Amino acid sequence: MRVGILGTGSYLPEKVMTNDDLSKFVDTNDEWIRTRTGIRERRIAAENEATSDLAYKAAEKAIENAKIDKNEIDLVIVATMSPDHITPATAAIVQDKLGINAAAFDLSAACTGFVYAFTTGYSFVKSGIYKKVLVIGAETMSRILDWEDRTTCVLFGDGAGAVVLGQIENGGYIASHLVSDGSGAEDVIIPAGGSRNPVSKEEIDKREIYFKMKGSDVFKFAVRAFPETVENVLAQGNTTADDVDMFIPHQANIRIIESIAKRFKQPLDKFYVNLQRYGNTSGASIPLALDEANKEGKLKKGDKVVMVGFGGGLTYGSILLEWSI
């Protein structure tokens, strides 16, 4: 049995926040952000939009693209670090919005979340437990950012991407590689709000309820982890970087992507990049980029594709597949 992508979809909020918009209330400017990250603008969810709303709209488009009845979906997995609530799972809310009878759960692996969720969904189909799995990466990062912290708030945006996984005749999933290094847990963290450090007035006053990141440490980690996981998954698939037709990397920083292209001696145009328009959308970045590449006709049946994620946990991982739609 082969397992692959049957359809892709994505959704982006309408509101666009440019670097110049940010400079009106944060001590920063367009040139500073662009030269260090490559980001020019990002999308921001409307007041009445939560992560489940973005996820649901991306899911609808993926189901439509897969040309299946929504009731064929057996399982919904949502990869997110900005859920609607601590509980219930955002995936359960999406399942209800879709009006389907399916299992549903969230998966937390930050910016690597979609890679983890895709591998999990693949495993359920491969084992025969479920036939069609909806895998979604969705984030409303704007709700968990500290808009007074210019080191983080300039980097992130909101959005969602989704894929439907199922049985196919040829191509599809080839290999995956998932890694966690919890020794770097404090490098990407929301300090307060969990059982370790519950929300209190003191924690709110200290702004510990917001997303924190040690940017330079994460950059160094990404530059090390990215090639490690790509080399591993290519070796599993008996494939070389030259054989890969398209890399879909986590959209964090153009400097990271450029350094990896140079490391593997590959042209930059083999790396799909849309971070200039959307910023870092965490768990949504890879499925968003994948859907755009699909819609733009940049992927054709038989192409070798590598998806790569890295982020909080610390986590990182990659997937090698053969495009099948």
Measured CA to CA, the distance from residue 162 to residue 273 in angstroms comes to 18
Active site residue 280: yes
CATH of domain 174-323: 3.40.47.10
Q: Is residue 57 within 8 Å of residue 45, measured between CB atoms? A: no
85 catalytically annotated: no
Which of 65, 153, 177, 250 is catalytic? The answer is: 250
19, 111, 177, 294: the active-site residue:
111
Q: Average pLDDT in the 150-175 region?
A: 97
Q: Give the pLDDT mean for 34-49.
A: 97
**What separation in angstroms does the CA of 258 have from each of 64, 255, 266, 321?**
34, 5, 10, 22
Q: Determine the Cα–Cα distance for residues 93 and 97; give it in Å rounded to an integer.
A: 6
Question: What is the per-residue pLDDT for 1?
Answer: 86
Query: What integer pLDDT is reported at residue 221 of this predicted model?
Result: 96
Q: How many CB atoms lie within 10 A of CB 94?
A: 31
Q: Reduced to 3 states, what is the DSSP secondary structure of residue 260?
A: helix
What count of Cα atoms within 13 Å lies in the side-chain half-sphere of residue 158? 26
Q: Report the distance separating Cα 225 and Cα 233, nearest Å.
A: 12
Mode of pairing for the β-strands spanning 15-18 and 41-44:
antiparallel
**3/128 Cα distance (integer angstroms):** 11
Where in the chain are all domains bearing CATH 3.40.47.10? 2-169, 174-323
Which among 265, 219, 214, 272 is positioned nearest to 246, based on CA atoms?
A: 272
pLDDT of residue 249: 98
CATH assignment of 2-169, among 3.30.565.10, 3.40.50.300, 3.40.47.10, 3.50.50.60: 3.40.47.10
User: pLDDT tens digits for 223-253?
Assistant: 999 999 999 999 999 999 999 999 999 999 9
Q: CA 123 to CA 253: how far, in whole Å?
A: 30
Q: What is the mean pLDDT of residues 65-75?
A: 98
Nearest C-alpha neighbor of 322 from the set 1, 53, 60, 4: 4
Sorting pLDDT into bands at 50, 70 and 90, what band is 157?
very high
Encoded tokens for 100: 């389907």
Written as six digits, the tokens of 251 are: 């959209």
Q: What is the pLDDT of residues 91-132, one digit of tens each?
A: 999 999 999 999 999 999 999 999 999 999 999 999 999 999
Kindly report whether the global pTM for this prediction surpasses the value 0.95: yes
Rg of the chain on CA atoms, in Å: 19
Query: How do strand 188-189 and strand 41-44 relate by DSSP bridges?
Result: unpaired
pLDDT band at 56 (very low <50, low <70, confident <90, very high): very high
Q: What is the pLDDT of residue 222?
A: 95
